[in-house]
Amino acid sequence: MYGIPTRSDAANQSVGLFYRGLQDIEIYVEDVDAAALYTELLTRATGGRVNIKKVISLAGREKVVEMCQQYDEEFPALFIIDGDLDLLHSEREGPINRLYQHRLYCLENYLFCQNASAELLRDHSGRLLKDQAIDLLEWDDFITNITPTLLELFKVYAVSWKALEEDRITTVSRSYHTMCSQKKKPSRWDLCSVKVQEVIDGINTQVLEVITQEQYQEIYDSVTNIVGTLSTPLCAVSGKDYLLKALREYLAMKGASYSYDDGFKFKLARYCDIEPLAELSGAILHTVNEGVYLQAS
């Protein structure tokens, strides 16, 4: 079978050279196949004031940080990485010149919003007015329903990530749909609190083989306090692996069926609120207009 050709690390790092005459800044990210998504979001966030033609994936967080540390070109550049589970321990890379770390779990968290979801209902229907779509969406009910279960799961993920640093277990990469129950009319998968609790219990069993209950509680309390400092609690939950999958199923229940693919994400990127991207937009504008950017801690 023939696959899509992939570039070497050295080739990825040199891509920006070919676009310097076409854009104002080089932007490097860890996400694979997210160039169009990033370009759409960042162009909207900066109000079109910055010319961005090619967002470059280095295929991994460590590669982004490493290239950022080595970058010594005069051409404006920004290197972007996710918050990940570091977010729940207030641990951040750097500070490193030109490095920007999201203050939420990952890029896809920006796409998870009421406005974008309502617009997808409208696109699917073709008949709904904006206010009608907002009413039909019942966003607050949706958020209230999923937040306690997913937040507890990610707190436990964060505890295990910290406690088992030498031998980490599978956490975020666990399939969302294995923790759901299949429903009909319309066909969808609903998050099942019983299945989620089984996962939590299994992780806790493994963690408590390594640390004491007192140590566990200390880490758990610290994570809980940090979650309280985030702009919203669901910033602590992976948008890519959980929130957008939950949203896709919820929209199906509301009569708007979409495949969970890059097209679904791109539709959300066209409509999502850009206010949460204000800091990142500011980083880009600073880099282009003033010089090397250093993110505040």
102 and 175 part of one domain? no
User: Quick check: is 3 in a domain?
Assistant: no
102 and 130 part of one domain? no
pLDDT single digits (tens) 198-249: 999 999 999 999 999 999 999 999 999 999 999 999 999 999 999 999 999 9
Provide the domain limits for residue 150: 113-271
7-11, 88-92, 123-127, 255-259: the lowest-pLDDT one: 7-11
Q: What pLDDT, on a 0 to 100 scale, did the predictor assign at position 9? A: 53
Q: Which two tokens stand for residue 106?
A: 């990952």
283 and 261 part of one domain? no
21 and 148 part of one domain? no
User: Quick check: is 94 in a domain?
Assistant: yes
**Beta carbons within 8 Å of 170's beta carbon, 6+ residues apart:** none
pLDDT surpasses 90 at 1? no
pLDDT single digits (tens) 265-276: 999 999 999 999
162 and 239 part of one domain? yes
Q: How far apart are CA 255 and CA 168, in angstroms?
A: 40
pLDDT surpasses 80 at 173? no
Cβ neighbours of 69 (radius 10 Å): 15
Q: How far apart are CA 81 and CA 64, in angstroms?
A: 7
94 and 123 part of one domain? no
User: Quick check: is 20 in a domain?
Assistant: yes
pLDDT surpasses 70 at 116? yes
Q: Which spans in 71-182 are helix H?
A: 114-125, 130-137, 139-163
User: Quick check: is 1 in a domain?
Assistant: no
Q: What is the CA radius of gyration of the chain?
A: 20
Q: What pLDDT, on a 0 to 100 scale, did the predictor assign at position 188? A: 86
132 and 97 part of one domain? no
80 and 223 part of one domain? no
User: Quick check: is 296 in a domain?
Assistant: no
* Count of domains for the chain: 2
User: Quick check: is 294 in a domain?
Assistant: no
pTM, whole model, 2 decimals? 0.93
Q: How far apart are CA 1 and CA 61, in angstroms?
A: 29
- Strands, DSSP E only, in the chain? 26-29, 55-57, 77-81, 99-101, 180-183, 188-191
65 and 140 part of one domain? no
47 and 144 part of one domain? no
52-56, 166-170, 259-263: the lowest-pLDDT one: 166-170
196 and 244 part of one domain? yes
User: Quick check: is 101 in a domain?
Assistant: yes
pLDDT single digits (tens) 60-74: 999 999 999 999 999
Q: What pLDDT, on a 0 to 100 scale, did the predictor assign at position 184? A: 85
124 and 103 part of one domain? no
User: Quick check: is 192 in a domain?
Assistant: yes
Cis bond upstream, residue 95 (ω within 30): yes
pLDDT surpasses 90 at 16? no
